[in-house]
Amino acid sequence: MRNSITFFIALFFINIIIQQGECGFNFKRRTSKSTKIFGFSWKNCGKPDDPAVMKTLDLSPDPIGIPGDVTASAAGSTSVGLVAPLAVNVTLEKEVAGFWVKIPCLEEIGSCHYPDGCQLLDMVIPPGQDCPEPLHTYGIPCHCPFKAGDYSLPQSDFYLPNVDLPYWLTNGNYRVQGVLGSQGQEMGCLKVALSIHST
């Protein structure tokens, strides 16, 4: 579920909202409930000269069922090499009575600052370990540094496991903005919007 660093970051945002945390988030597995993600959308929100840009990101079906299968494809590019440390600033908001309310950083989830996204990738996929499929097949790197260039992930299928969400992450509309930075400079910005419904 990844291609360039921007795709890693996009899916990291989704992971914050819907997946069990392999990055140290300790959620209990859910056995009797399921979650559906509706209306997933995204857009670049960076400056015109930001080096890291998402070109395409498609997820299907809509809604996405959890647990369940999802099909993803993506393409992105970076005009400069991306090396550690890569800071990630995440802003998570929920719509409440027609207003967008910022969710604070709670147990490393929410509107948080992550000093180095490269370390987060290393926690998900330990250094020295082969990149998981289909990254390995398509020669897509899963660790920093990321060389300048274009990256693409053809349409691929993934399984999303059943997980338990934090008590405060209830049904509703959410939007997430992530800003990728290095040495005080913005490298890219991505916004993701979706709706969560648990049954």
Domain ranges of the chain: 5-198
Give the residue-averaged pLDDT of 53-64: 91
User: Over 70: is that where the pLDDT of 98 sits?
Assistant: yes
The per-residue DSSP string of 56-125 comes to EEEEESSSEEESEEEEEEEEEEESS-B-S--EEEEEEEEEETTEEEEEB-BTTBSB-EES-HHHHHHHHS
**pLDDT above 80 (res 131):** yes
The values of phi and psi at residue 187, to 5°, are -105, -25
User: Which residue would you say has higher pLDDT here, 186 or 12?
Assistant: 186
User: pLDDT at position 139, please?
Assistant: 78
Q: What is the pLDDT of residue 101?
A: 95
Residue 40, H or E segment: strand 35-44
Q: In whole angstroms, what is the distance from residue 80 CA to residue 86 CA?
A: 13
Mean pLDDT, rounded, for 64-89: 89
- d(Cα 38, Cα 35) in Å, to the nearest integer? 10
Mean predicted confidence (pLDDT) in 60-85: 89
pLDDT band at residue 19 using 50, 70 and 90 as cut-offs: very low
pLDDT band at 76 (very low <50, low <70, confident <90, very high): confident
Cα torsion through 136, 138, 139, 141, rounded to 10: -70
Three-state DSSP class for residue 172 = strand
pTM for the full predicted model: 0.81
Whether cis (ω within 30° of 0) applies to the bond prior to 161 is no
Asked if CATH classification 2.120.10.30 holds for the domain at 5-198, the reply, yes or no, is no
Phi-psi region of 26 (alpha: psi -120 to 50; beta: other; left: phi over 0): beta
- Does residue 138 or residue 40 have the better pLDDT? 40
Q: How far apart are CA 160 and CA 140, in angstroms?
A: 21
Give the Cβ contact number of residue 80 at 10 Å. 13
